[in-house]
Structure 1
Amino acid sequence: MISTWRRRMAARRARKLKLRSGEEAYDEVELTIPSEFKCPISLDLMKDPVTLSSGITYDRESIETWIEAGNRTCPITNRPLGSLEPVPNHMIRRVIQDWCVENRSHGIERIPTPRIPVSSMEVAEMLDKVSDACKTKDQSVCRKLVVKMKALSKESERNKKCFKSNGTGSVLAAAFEAFSKTSSLDEENDAILKEILSALTMMLPLSVEATSCLGSSSSLHCMVGFLTSGNLSSRWNSAFALREIVSSDKRKVEALAEIEGASESLFKLIKEPICPVATKSSLICIYHMVTSSHPAKHLVISRFVQMGLVSLLVETLVDADRSMSEKALGVLDGICDNEEGKEAVRDNSLAVPVLVKKLLRVSELATEFSVSVLWQLMAISESGEDGGRVLAEALQVGAFQKLLLLLQVGCGERTKEKATQVVKLLNLHRERLECIDSLDFKDLKRPF
């Protein structure tokens, strides 16, 4: 009985082994890809064959990479190309697909039918229609076109580049300005503005012309309105667009600062974050508002201080990443250019420890901002009523040793000058104030 069972098991193992060896032998059969199916550039099987004006067929990804590199000749014939728009070769694609199906037993997968990318001519036609719809205030047609453009841009990076290179940003910015000036406040007008703004964030960075249209008074008021009472998507898009505007055109900073509710909306994005990108965009906007030399600068800083921005920034800095730390420190540095701002930073018990902690720990830019803030705080503490408090706090958390190390490893000239002044101020009080042992920094390495 047992011997019979053993014989059956041995026979099963033998059959499995035979089948397995047969499969391995079958897999070892070498399959040669026909040369006419290979791209002349990559020498791989073409997934999306296209033909140039020279008559040579290439894989779309390879030839577009060649053209984007600045080449204007056919790689094979070396002759100038009459047109840079490759034409899909449907016949060779179908032949390749049939060959893949025939050889699927060898592990060859059928190449999917590619989506035909949008052409410059198609983009130009859509943009002309958008411009016409703006002139006639046809919200329905304009919205359908913008939705279609967004869908095509999301299909592939190639489509997005085609839209951007054909001036889509300028046309959409002009459309946003046109519809933002309309007196009607109906839902349809609100919807088209949100669609255009969403599409605009896909076209960044914007040209000077586009930034000018998007930075108009009506456009700014509209975006601040979305930032104040819009949904999450429109708030994100507005913050992103405003960041682009104030970063590229300093003249728009004052206009933004004067809009009622702008400061409060930007502050709310930090206090009640919806995503890191929106928070960072808001910090960049606030940075330009508190550092640019516009007449309302000090009024804007006072407004942010009264909202509680200093405490919010210090709390954000405790566990912030590199990018967030740099932006928050930059805003703190700008706030300290105002007497009320300095007092608010000095009155925050976590401010000095956090600033010293960021020295040499995050990035060179973060270190520069931290040194600048400490330098400004020290200057006012020497002449203020409570002059020794900031110095004492800085010494107790190791600012003197860190600044000496910074001067030793090197930094920019302006940062070096400020750090030297702070070290001199701290050195005057070292004898009467306890500070930590410098050996605590023996393993400190410069991360940049």
Structure 2
Amino acid sequence: MVFGWRRRKNNAHKKNLMVIMDLEIPNHFLCPISLDLMKDPVTLSSGITYDRENIETWLEAGNFTCPVTKQILQSFDQIPNHSLRKLIQEWCMENQKYGVQRIPTPKTPVLPLEVSEILFSVEASVRRKDLFGCLESVKKIQKWGAESERNRRCIMVNGAANVLANALESFATSGSDMSGFEEILSALNWMFPFGEEARKYLGSEASLRCLVSFLKHDDLSVKQNSAMVLTELLSYGDKRHLEVIANIEGLVLILMDFIRKQICPKITKASLMLIFHLVSSSYYTSSETIKSAFVEMGLVSLILGILVDFGKGVIIENALGVMDGICGFEKGRKEAFGNALTIPVLVKKLLRVSDVATAFSISAICKLCKNVNEEDDVQGRSVLVEALQVGAFQKLLLIIQVSCCEETKKKATELLKLLNPYRPQLECIESADFKSLRSSF
């Protein structure tokens, strides 16, 4: 088989000039699955050698046969073929002049038995209240996880999230010095989604207070890891977690500070998601108190500022989700009514960002308009008129025709009925908003 290898030449006048050199690769160097040069050749019980990544993908898909011979495998052991790997590396070295790079010697993947042993070590350290010993084991887990995605899967499948969540909860409950918890937090950050047992440990008051305290940490990565773990935890909708979080002093101030300063995109996204969960749910006792606190600290203006400054992306979706949550309670609606940007910005985002953003925008507008009768009549009518003036009616007509979920279409239809009586001589439209729409028919 002949593959094209490229060699980069330095040329003062023509940068990045690539010369394609035809080079014949020995067939036994190629993986039978991908037909690419093998980086980590392993041999199955059938005697056929494959690249480790490709054969693992094959087996994880539920296949029990050898792809070449079709025979049922007697075992799933993958024996490293060191001799073949060395031959491939030597061939790469011999052909370096043609731009072929030497394949590095692969690290031996972690085995389930090794993972179980290290997790037993973590549990033993927790029982002894030995934080130092626990962190040494966690560092080893982190090292394995950094080596390959395959290692991460092996670690997660063997219940590492449950063990680490238990460790965090145990040490936080005992009042241990939190200076070493960052390692546990960092490891948990790539173990999403959490199972029920891990959520139980992380959802305890001690753990949640510990996670919130990390939001004040000087290290940006620690802030980020803590915000991501909290976001993942609250995404499961457990009202007990929301209740504890809502009663932690200083949380509102911390999250508002993150939104205002926007020190890191990931922290901004996670903070918006945390606020979304807190303002969108009414199933916990302190919901009205924390919602009011966010509104009083100027959340509406901050969110509208983000919607104006950013064009597209997850941040916009998260911000619109927060705005939808704000419009779900009376004090939030009053604040939204009082800001001249609310309706124009929400209408502007319809059909411009994503289906998720459109759904949040429609939901927020719907909440504002459907509560017209509960607000001052003059103010209510002005909201409907303003929505028409910035092109809401035409966009809503399009939304019920293009591909979107049934709930969004239902709300769009409700809005059209509310706006229709105010239509005469008030319509305007931005044609640029209707480019690149996906029709549902």
Q: Give the TM bin, normalised by the shorter chain.
A: 0.7 to 0.9
Q: Is 1:276 equivalent to 2:269 in the alignment?
A: no
Q: C-alpha offsets along residues 247-293 of structure 1, whole Å, 9 cap, x if unaligned?
A: 12423222222222223222222122232222222222222222222
Instruction: State which of 406, 411, 416 in structure 2 corresponds to 1:423.
Output: 416
Superposed displacement of residue 342, structure 1: 0.6
Identify if the C-alpha distance between structure 1 residues 413 and 80 changes in structure 2 by more than 3 Å, giving closer, same or farther: closer
Matches within 5 A, 1:56-95: 56-95=48-87
Instruction: State which of 23, 30, 39 in structure 1 corresponds to 2:31.
Output: 39
Matching residue's letter, 2:323:
L
Superposed displacement of residue 225, structure 1: 0.7
Q: Is 1:395 equivalent to 2:366 in the alignment?
A: no
Structure 2: distance between partners of 1:341 and 1:443: 28
Superposed displacement of residue 230, structure 1: 4.6
**Secondary structure at 1:248's aligned position in 2?**
coil
**Secondary structure at 1:114's aligned position in 2?**
coil
Instruction: State which of 282, 287, 291 in structure 2 corresponds to 1:297.
Output: 287
Instruction: State which of 321, 324, 342 in structure 1 corresponds to 2:333.
Output: 342
Give the superposed CA RMSD: 2.7
Structure 2: distance between partners of 1:409 and 1:90: 56
Q: Is 1:204 equivalent to 2:184 in the alignment?
A: no
Corresponding residue for residue 153 of structure 1: 145
Q: Report the number of matched residues.
A: 413
- 147-156 or 51-60, which deviates more: 51-60
Corresponding residue for residue 260 of structure 1: 249
Structure 1: distance between partners of 2:432 and 2:91: 67
Superposed displacement of residue 395, structure 1: 2.9
Structure 2: distance between partners of 1:69 and 1:237: 31
**Secondary structure at 2:50's aligned position in 1?**
strand
User: Matched residues, percent identical?
Assistant: 48
Tell me if structure 1 keeps the 8 A contact 2:352–2:433: no
Structure 2: distance between partners of 1:253 and 1:394: 34
Structure 2: distance between partners of 1:104 and 1:323: 43
Structure 1: distance between partners of 2:167 and 2:37: 44
Structure 1 residue ranges without an equivalent (≥5): 1-26
Q: Is 1:307 equivalent to 2:294 in the alignment?
A: no
Matching residue's letter, 1:114:
P
Structure 2: distance between partners of 1:74 and 1:209: 37
- 77-86 or 162-171, which deviates more: 77-86
Tell me if structure 1 keeps the 8 A contact 2:363–2:411: yes
Structure 2 residue ranges without an equivalent (≥5): 1-20
Identify if the C-alpha distance between structure 1 residues 178 and 436 changes in structure 2 by more than 3 Å, giving closer, same or farther: same
Q: Is 1:246 equivalent to 2:234 in the alignment?
A: yes
Structure 1: distance between partners of 2:120 and 2:95: 47
Superposed displacement of residue 365, structure 1: 2.6
**Secondary structure at 1:50's aligned position in 2?**
strand
Tell me if structure 2 keeps the 8 A contact 1:314–1:350: yes
Superposed displacement of residue 316, structure 1: 0.7
Matches within 5 A, 1:310-329: 310-320=300-310, 321-329=312-320
Identify if the C-alpha distance between structure 1 residues 38 and 255 changes in structure 2 by more than 3 Å, giving closer, same or farther: same
Structure 1: distance between partners of 2:197 and 2:223: 23
Q: Is 1:191 equivalent to 2:183 in the alignment?
A: no
Identify if the C-alpha distance between structure 1 residues 111 and 341 changes in structure 2 by more than 3 Å, giving closer, same or farther: closer
**Secondary structure at 1:75's aligned position in 2?**
coil
Tell me if structure 1 keeps the 8 A contact 2:351–2:433: no
**Secondary structure at 2:107's aligned position in 1?**
coil
Superposed displacement of residue 88, structure 1: 1.6
**Secondary structure at 1:58's aligned position in 2?**
strand
Q: C-alpha offsets along residues 161-212 of structure 1, whole Å, 9 cap, x if unaligned?
A: 2212221111111111111112233xxxx23211100111011122221122
